[in-house]
């Protein structure tokens, strides 16, 4: 069974990171507003990135990691720009900002 970490762009331009074992079903739940919470009031949503993992724990770890990222770093992930992701991570560590951001943010 595959597990997925995913990133959605909401109608207001914010991003939402999540994980699931059934990506198509989860996307339809987000689109319908069936899950409540963050995405329910920000529909429609668009899947902008996803990756599959062999274990659910791995997908959860990646989801939590992405939730702590800046908007710039999320957009680099969407673009597949691993060099920029690395530079942004280095800049953040050099500035001493190691705290995780909000779990769902416009950033």
40: containing domain: 3-68
pTM of the model: 0.84
Q: 64 in a domain, yes or no?
A: yes
Q: Residue 30: is it exposed, middle or buried by C-beta count within 10 angstroms (0-12/13-18/19+)?
A: buried
Round to whole Å and give the CA distance between 76 and 73.
5
Same domain membership, residue 91 and residue 77: yes
Q: What pLDDT does 95 receive?
A: 66
More confident residue, 1 or 64: 64
Q: Above 50 in pLDDT, residue 102? A: no
Give residue 21's pLDDT. Answer: 98
Structure tokens at 74: 């999320």
Domain count across the chain: 2
Residues whose CB falls within 8 Å of the CB of residue 98, separated by 6 or more in sequence, listed in order: 92
In the structure, what pLDDT confidence band is assigned to residue 90 with cuts at 50, 70 and 90? confident
Torsion (CA) 70, 43, 38, 102 in degrees, nearest 10 = 10
């Amino acid at each position: 069974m595959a597990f997925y970490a995913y990133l959605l762009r909401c109608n207001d331009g914010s991003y939402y990171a999540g994980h699931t074992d059934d990506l198509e079903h989860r996307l339809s739940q987000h689109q319908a507003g069936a899950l409540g919470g963050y995405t329910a009031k920000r529909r429609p949503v668009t899947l902008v990135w996803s990756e599959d993992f062999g274990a659910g724990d791995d997908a959860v770890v990646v989801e939590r990691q992405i939730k702590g990222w800046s908007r710039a770093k999320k957009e680099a992930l969407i673009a597949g720009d691993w060099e920029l992701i690395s530079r942004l991570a280095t800049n953040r560590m050099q500035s001493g900002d190691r705290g995780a951001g909000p779990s769902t943010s416009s950033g």
